[in-house]
Structure 1
Amino acid sequence: MGEQGDAPHDFSRAVLQPVSGYQAVVGFLRREMALGRIQPGDRLPPERRLAEQLGVSRETLRQALRILEGSGQIVITRGASGGAIVQDAALDPRLIREEVRTRAAEIGALTEFREIVESGGAALAAARRTDADLEAMASAQSDLAAAITKAQSRVADTAFHLALAEASGNAFVRDAVEEARVRMFEPVDLMSFDFVKESSWHAHELILDAVRRGEAQAADEAMRAHLRTTRAEFTRVVEG
């Protein structure tokens, strides 16, 4: 997690092509937050530099930052040492739960989609993974075990799933996994998901073990079981 004295985050490598319009800027920054690429405490680059990195005008950027400030996702301070600092926004859990309930069908469909894509990706990873891939997944597991906040748990969980998707050797799988995780976290990111660390860590260990052994069917089945459990736990939290 970043500190306010850290160097500003650099988006120049993250942005493959310029975004267009303030809403697209808001969407891009929220996506980076959802994936844990920028975290609470991180400082965004100075206005001029960030506008250049995103390929937008400074006025467009200011509009986007005002929206993020209004939603509590950043705090903007003035002065020589000021800037935009990412926050761990804390919204009313009752409002978040209500939003999730209204989108239950969409989230259910996303869970089904993830089961289809990520189980196949896990099977491919068992056949194609490299030592570097295994190291990346093991590192994410270590981070998850050491996590002490919900944000840290989410970042480590995401890192594992993306490392596994990368190990599949299929760019379409990797992109689909990333997009599905962003869509999944949009409505549920600020809910209480204390179960994530415990259940996810153990499920990941089963998946990683199968991938290490090169057993595609076992990796597929372990991922399916993981995502079915995730769906059941999600339903319990929403209905609780």
Structure 2
Amino acid sequence: MFKHAKQNRVFQDVVEQIQDAILAGKLEPGTKLPAERELKDLFNTSRGTLREALRVLEQKGLIEIKLGVAGGAIVKKIDSDPIIQSLALLIRSGGISLEHLAEFRIKIEGSIVELATQRAIPENIQEMERLFKEAQTHFEAGDWESFLKTDEAMHTYLGIMSQNPVFQFIQKSIHDNIHQYYASYLPMNHARTLENLKDFEKLIAAMKRHDSAAAADIIRDHVERFSKKMQEKTMGAGRD
């Protein structure tokens, strides 16, 4: 399966050969790679280069390196966790502006909701209604933090309803991390939470009618309105 690495690009070639074997299905999840000494001979490389290549593959989420007698490099099932973590760090570091985040969400979330409405089954609507009632309970109790967590779950569930794993990834990545912006620029209060709740009530009603265009318009308006509130807050803070 493996051959001597090209000597002018040894490190990169080792990473690419193992990566390609995993992506092509030649190495299935749970498979243990050959021992370090064997891999070193197969690639005709140094132990240091090999170990660095394996660390890169581990960072990519393609393998897991276990220590001990029974340890070694084990092929992992490919998932989106490393990408989610990278995007989470970018958002949390402030590397994405409110304007860019709003622009992205208006364009993408409208499309996600449109698709989710078209593909919605009764169980999906029931789950959205359950989450809405949960949010309503938090609103009535004045528990803004719990309300935001439920709001996050509702947005994430829209990605699940789309039945598209890329959209699911996007929604989860954004809404697992977006509420730091609310905490900084638009803390929830009675009026803002009620406005948020009414938007979701209208959204669920449109989804029950299978009116995908109306549902998409509702979520776009929701995102744009709340984003403008946060942007106004940041401009006000800047003037202060």
TM range (shorter): 0.5 to 0.7
Q: Report the AA paired with residue 213 of structure 1.
A: R
* CA distance in structure 2 between the partners assigned to 1:104 and 1:206 by the alignment: 33
SS in 2 for 1:214: coil
The answer as to 2:213 corresponding to 1:222 is no
Q: Find the partner of 1:139 among 110, 130, 153.
A: 130
1:175, CA displacement in angstroms?
0.8
The answer as to 2:165 corresponding to 1:171 is yes
C-alpha distance after superposition, 1:1-57 (max 9, x if no partner) = xxxxxxxxxxxxxxxxxxx9xxx9xxxxxxxxxxxxxxxxxxxxxxxxxxxxx9999
The answer as to 2:97 corresponding to 1:110 is no
* Cα distance change on mapping 1:55 and 1:166 into 2, 3 Å: farther
TM score, norm. by length of structure 2:
0.54
* CA distance in structure 2 between the partners assigned to 1:170 and 1:227 by the alignment: 21
Q: Report the AA paired with residue 214 of structure 2.
A: A
Higher percent of residues as helix: 2
The answer as to 2:173 corresponding to 1:182 is no
* CA distance in structure 2 between the partners assigned to 1:218 and 1:187 by the alignment: 27
Q: Report the AA paired with residue 126 of structure 1.
A: T
Cα RMSD of the aligned pairs, angstroms, is 3.4
Query: How do residues 1-240 of structure 1 correspond to structure 2 at under 5 angstroms?
Result: 103=94, 106-147=97-138, 148-189=142-183, 193-195=187-189, 196-238=192-234, 239=236
* Cα distance change on mapping 1:151 and 1:210 into 2, 3 Å: same
Identity of paired residues, percent?
A: 15
C-alpha distance after superposition, 1:88-133 (max 9, x if no partner) = xxxxxxxxxxxx9x95961221111111111101101111011121
* CA distance in structure 1 between the partners assigned to 2:213 and 2:65 by the alignment: 45
Pairs aligned (count): 150
SS in 2 for 1:189: helix
Conservation of the 8 A alpha-carbon contact between 1:110 and 1:184: no
* CA distance in structure 1 between the partners assigned to 2:171 and 2:211 by the alignment: 21
Q: Which has the larger radius of gyration?
A: 2
TM score, norm. by length of structure 1:
0.54
Unaligned runs of 5+ in 1: 1-19, 25-53, 58-99
Q: Report the AA paired with residue 127 of structure 1.
A: Q
* CA distance in structure 2 between the partners assigned to 1:121 and 1:136 by the alignment: 17
SS in 1 for 2:111: helix
* CA distance in structure 2 between the partners assigned to 1:120 and 1:203 by the alignment: 17
C-alpha distance after superposition, 1:60-89 (max 9, x if no partner) = xxxxxxxxxxxxxxxxxxxxxxxxxxxxxx
* CA distance in structure 2 between the partners assigned to 1:225 and 1:56 by the alignment: 49
Conservation of the 8 A alpha-carbon contact between 1:107 and 1:184: no
Q: Which has the higher contact order (CA 8 A, sep 6+)?
A: 1
Unaligned runs of 5+ in 2: 1-54, 68-91
1:218, CA displacement in angstroms?
0.7
* Cα distance change on mapping 1:209 and 1:56 into 2, 3 Å: farther
